[in-house]
Chain A
Amino acid sequence: GAVVSQHPSWVICKSGTSVKIECRSLDFQATTMFWYRQFPKQSLMLMATSNEGSKATYEQGVEKDKFLINHASLTLSTLTVTSAHPEDSSFYICSARDLQQETQYFGPGTRLLVL
């Protein structure tokens, strides 16, 4: 089956620093990837849609200058949390759309803790 990886799996950083999270589709090309945020015991909240070679589309209420998304290739999208603050601590999950399967496949998630 389709595999999506995320790196790192967890990260701890100091308040004010930036953190980059990578999302890779390992065995298929993904023109579209999605970034979600999940709070404890809650559902996934879509943050943005990342399209290869173009600007990301952000959901309402998501600060595009704080959550920078880059989708430079058909297998890699990155999410950079800039000037992170403790309220940015969360579980971030990416997904990649396999056009042939017409399905989104999810990465294992990245747990971010900002001190």
Chain B
Amino acid sequence: AQSVTQPDIHITVSEGASLELRCNYSYGATPYLFWYVQSPGQGLQLLLKYFSGDTLVQGIKGFEAEFKRSQSSFNLRKPSVHWSDAAEYFCAVATGTASKLTFGTGTRLQVTL
């Protein structure tokens, strides 16, 4: 069965600093990978997804993620963080486009001014 690990429970960055959130997955074949963001008391918003092709994917709000098969990773990055980016970020994997998602435990991002 597939699994997702987000090693960092909580990260604090200064506004304007760069950000990288780590995500490692476990799955024998090519995974379908997603990053979602959740603001307090809200549902999840899709930031970006990777199915195939270019391993560097661009998402909304200036986020990008890179799929590295050799490292089984799909890390999320943003060059300059804004205070409004403070939220919970979830990495998820699916075995196919029609398959259920398996979520990581999430990383809470705090942004200091």
Q: Which of A1-49 contact B (CB under 8 A)?
A: 4, 6, 32, 34, 41-44, 46, 49
State whether A49 and B100 are in contact (beta carbons under 8 Å apart), knowing that A43-B106, A44-B90 are contacts in the complex.
yes
**Min distance, Cβ B95 to any Cβ of chain A, angstroms:** 13
30 interchain pairs (CB within 8 A)? Answer: A34-B100, A34-B101, A41-B108, A42-B105, A42-B106, A43-B105, A43-B106, A44-B44, A44-B103, A46-B100, A46-B101, A91-B41, A95-B44, A95-B101, A99-B98, A102-B32, A102-B97, A102-B98, A103-B49, A104-B46, A105-B46, A106-B44, A106-B45, A106-B46, A107-B43, A108-B42, A108-B43, A109-B41, A109-B42, A109-B43
B63 within 8 A of A: no
The residue of chain A having its C-beta at the shortest distance from the C-beta of B105 within the complex is A43
Query: CA–CA, A108 to B45, complex, Å?
Result: 9
State whether A106 and B43 are in contact (beta carbons under 8 Å apart), knowing that A46-B100, A46-B101, A97-B98 are contacts in the complex.
yes
Which residues of A have CB within 8 Å of B108? 41
By a beta-carbon cutoff of 8 Å, the part of chain A in contact with chain B is 4, 6, 32, 34, 41-44, 46, 49, 91, 93, 95, 97, 99, 102-109, 111
Query: CA–CA, A71 to B38, complex, Å?
Result: 26
The residue of chain A having its C-beta at the shortest distance from the C-beta of B90 within the complex is A43
5 A-B pairs with least C-beta separation: A102-B97, A106-B44, A106-B43, A108-B43, A109-B43
A contact patch SS: strand
Query: CA–CA, A6 to B45, complex, Å?
Result: 14
Q: Which of B68-113 contact A (CB under 8 A)?
A: 90, 97-98, 100-101, 103-106, 108
Query: CA–CA, A42 to B108, complex, Å?
Result: 10
Which residues of A have CB within 8 Å of B104? 43
Query: Which one of B32, B36, B106 lies within 8 Å of A106 (CB-CB)?
Result: B36
State whether A93 and B101 are in contact (beta carbons under 8 Å apart), knowing that A43-B90, A43-B106, A106-B36 are contacts in the complex.
no
Which residues of A have CB within 8 Å of B106? 42-43
Query: CA–CA, A105 to B45, complex, Å?
Result: 7
**Min distance, Cβ A55 to any Cβ of chain B, angstroms:** 16
Q: Which of B19-69 contact A (CB under 8 A)?
A: 32, 34, 36, 41-46, 49, 51
